[in-house]
Amino acid sequence: MAELTDKAVEKLPLATGGQYVVRDDLPGFYVVVGKRSKTFTVQCDVKDDLGKRRTKKKSIGSFPDLTVRQARAKAKAELGAMQVAGKFEERRKEWTLGEA
């Protein structure tokens, strides 16, 4: 894994069939390269109401509409929001006002 740059993403060849992933140093941030586009994506694991880990993914934009720097900043915000939402859901489902 290496830090993605605009030049590196620009040089990535489009996929000939299917898709492939190129990861960044930032955990959970990567580029999905398809036949026609290169899409920045984030992914993280959160616990569901049964305590099982679930993987959440979200695309945050395409290259070159977003630069790598813009996408990384957006990814940090999205990953933080996903983690907070997962913890909030977990806490909220453990204890309700009716149970108090």
Q: Which fold has domain 6-94?
A: Double Stranded RNA Binding Domain (3.30.160)
pLDDT of residue 57: 87
Q: Which residues pair with 33 in a beta bridge?
A: 20, 38
Q: What integer pLDDT is reported at residue 98 of this predicted model? A: 59
What pLDDT digit, counting tens, does each position of 38-72 carry? 999 998 887 776 777 888 888 899 998 889 899 99
- In this structure, the dihedral spanned by the alpha carbons of residues 13, 16, 19 and 25, taken in order and rounded to 10 degrees, is -20
pLDDT on residue 97: 56
Locate all alpha helices (DSSP H) within 5-97, ordered by sequence: 6-11, 68-94
Is it the case that residue 35 has pLDDT exceeding 90? yes
